[in-house]
Chain A
Amino acid sequence: MPVWAQLVYLLCAVGFVLALKGLSGPRTARTGNLVGAAAAVVACALPFFYADLDHVVLILVAIAVGSVVGVVGAQRVQMTQMPQLVALFNGVGGGAAALVALVELELYASFAGSSDLPLAPLVFTAFTILVGAVSFSGSVVTFAKLQELMTSRPVVPPGLPFAFVGSGLAALVLAGVLVDSPAVWVGVLLALVGLLLGVLLVLPVGGADVPIVISLLNAFTGLTVAAGGYVLGNTVLLVAGTLVGASGTFLTLLMARAMGRSVGNILFGALKGGSTLGAGEASDRPVRSAGPEDVAILLGYAERVIIVPGYGLAVAQAQHTLRELVEVLLERGTEVDYAIHPVAGRMPGHMNVLLAEAQVPYEQLREMDDVNGEFRQTDVVLVVGANDVVNPAARTTPSAPIYGMPILDVDESRQVVFLKRSMRPGFAGIENELLFDPRTTLLFGDAKDSLGKLLAAVKAL
């Protein structure tokens, strides 16, 4: 590799560091992303200028196909479905890393039997094949869970722990065989076991925890890219992969902390048994429901209102109607804020993106720790399509799967109004005692529909 190319790679590596740095601040985030994109494009274009590549046309066609698929997917996706798209992108990245390692393996297979087998590259090749496959299939399962192609509740088939340990051991043995005597078929077997492991890893994870698993698999893919960089002798791959692996792991821990969970508990909690998820069915206990006019009076004459938006709001595409309602209330002199739980929506920060899309001013969005002390002085809390993030079971019921997760202390306010489609429990599948509290009023219906009626009723006051 010529020196100039190595220097350009160094620039690209710096670009990735600056990209991550930029992405972690609200003002610099977009620039950071563009810097990262520029660095990635330059890094990937470079081999065409210095390396003696065959099949250039085929490669360019393949890049074009992938780019078109990626751009169309990214442009078409609804913001509500973005978490699963990120999962899918991550999965294909892991798959690509595993395939690259399999092709590399073919090269090493020619060394088989000779005494100067390169040990470390083979170890990392095995690592990349295995972890890349885990990341691929794991991401596909997270996609299916978030897209609700399958149940979002933990799936624990009988014998799953044994299957998991068994395939883990099989993977280790195969990796050992691969390092000792490299052969492509062993690599393929290893990839298959990796695919199985990925599925087994994600199946027992409950829907609400899936985003954390996406983040973890993202870090995994980063590490496979780093290992691939070592095997190919390419510094920028190693640096970029390691940056993503390290920051992804750290981000996973931050997210888990925001939910009051440990990563171990998220991954293996359901395996330990004692999963106490509710029946996931509608309860027939009595609740107090009201019409839009009643709720409009509550809101219209309150001094202090806090809105708690949840994923249900986004599903109903009701963000714009909600914003209008808040604007009308503000004009009436009511003090209104949005209380954003760190994991509102499907991923940390997801709700901020959804509300920003609806042009809700950034200053009205309050983070949980900032707003939690104010519920006590709040007249009405309007919970729109949220459930788990206001469920007091997180504080009171040690057996609940969300126990320990910090929640919005909505139950301390004077009145709570839930806009709900039905009495079905939330994403975590547990019943919310707050719904049966005497201070709670329910307004049943589609969130957009209900908010529209509420808006009209408040305007008519």
Chain B
Amino acid sequence: MNPDVTWLTYFVLSVFVGIEVIAKVSSTLHTPLMSGANAIHGVILLGAVLVAGSSDGLALVVALVAVVLAAVNMVGGFVVTDRMLQMFTRPARPGAAARKRVD
């Protein structure tokens, strides 16, 4: 099998999976989902590490800048998403006067 076609297969299947897994998201979660997806593409850090590990001179400097930026994206992204989501999973306060309607 042509390797490029193999790559294309990965790509096309990932497109379908990517759409399918979030198809039923409620608008409440749009922001955390965007933020979480944003953190996932921070995995470009892996690519930055790979090129930094095989470069020298100016290219190394550029690659290291990429490592810093990607780490900001990945680590910061997951932390801020977790901060947002903490608020959704907090246990209900005892004695809160709410729960009027159960519809």
Contacts and interface: CB of A to CB of B under 8 A. Distances in A.
A29 interface: yes
Contact of A236 (B21, B46, B89, B99): B46
Nearest to A252: B34
Contacts of A29: 29, 32-33, 36, 85, 88-89
A234 B47 contact: yes
A290 interface: no
B39 A246 contact: no
B103 to A, nearest CB: 9
B31 A47 contact: no
B41 A241 contact: yes
Contact of B42 (A93, A102, A342): A93
A150 interface: no
B78 A349 contact: no
A89 B4 CA distance: 31
Interface string A323-366: 00001001100010000101000011110110011010111110
A58 B87 contact: no
Contacts of B71: 62-67, 69-70
Interface of A is mostly: helix
Contacts of A36: 36, 39-40, 78
B77 to A, nearest CB: 5
> Which of B19, B67, B75 neighbours the largest number of chain A CB atoms within 10 Å of its CB?
B75
A44 B53 CA distance: 13
A58 B59 CA distance: 13
| Size bracket of the A interface | 35 or more
User: On chain B, which size bracket covers the interface?
Assistant: 35 or more
B44 A26 contact: no
A247 interface: yes
A67 B76 CA distance: 7
A251 B37 contact: yes
A224 B42 CA distance: 11
A427 interface: no
A222 B98 contact: no
A138 to B, nearest CB: 14
Contacts of A82: 31, 35, 80, 84
Interface in A37-70: 37, 40, 43-44, 46-48, 51-56, 58-59, 62-67, 69-70
B50 A30 contact: no
A150 B51 CA distance: 36
B68 to A, nearest CB: 4
B78 A37 contact: yes
B1 interface: no
B42 to A, nearest CB: 5
Contact of B72 (A24, A89, A349, A362): A89
A48 B19 CA distance: 32
A353 B39 CA distance: 18
B48 A99 contact: yes
A221 interface: yes
B45 A63 contact: yes
A270 interface: no
Nearest to A231: B47
B29 to A, nearest CB: 6
Interface of A: 16-17, 19-21, 23-27, 29-30, 32-34, 36-37, 40, 43-44, 46-48, 51-56, 58-59, 62-67, 69-71, 73-75, 77, 79, 82-83, 85-86, 89-90, 92-93, 95-97, 99-100, 102-104, 106, 120, 214-215, 218, 221-222, 224-226, 228-230, 232, 234-248, 250-251, 254-255, 258, 327, 330-331, 335, 340, 342, 347-350, 352-353, 356-357, 359, 361-365, 367
30 contacts: A24-B25, A33-B81, A43-B43, A52-B53, A58-B60, A59-B67, A74-B80, A82-B31, A86-B80, A89-B72, A92-B72, A93-B41, A97-B44, A99-B66, A103-B55, A106-B55, A228-B47, A230-B11, A232-B47, A238-B11, A240-B41, A240-B43, A246-B15, A246-B16, A247-B21, A247-B33, A330-B100, A348-B31, A353-B32, A363-B98
Closest 9 CB pairs of A and B: A66-B71, A70-B76, A53-B53, A246-B18, A348-B30, A93-B73, A242-B14, A356-B87, A99-B66
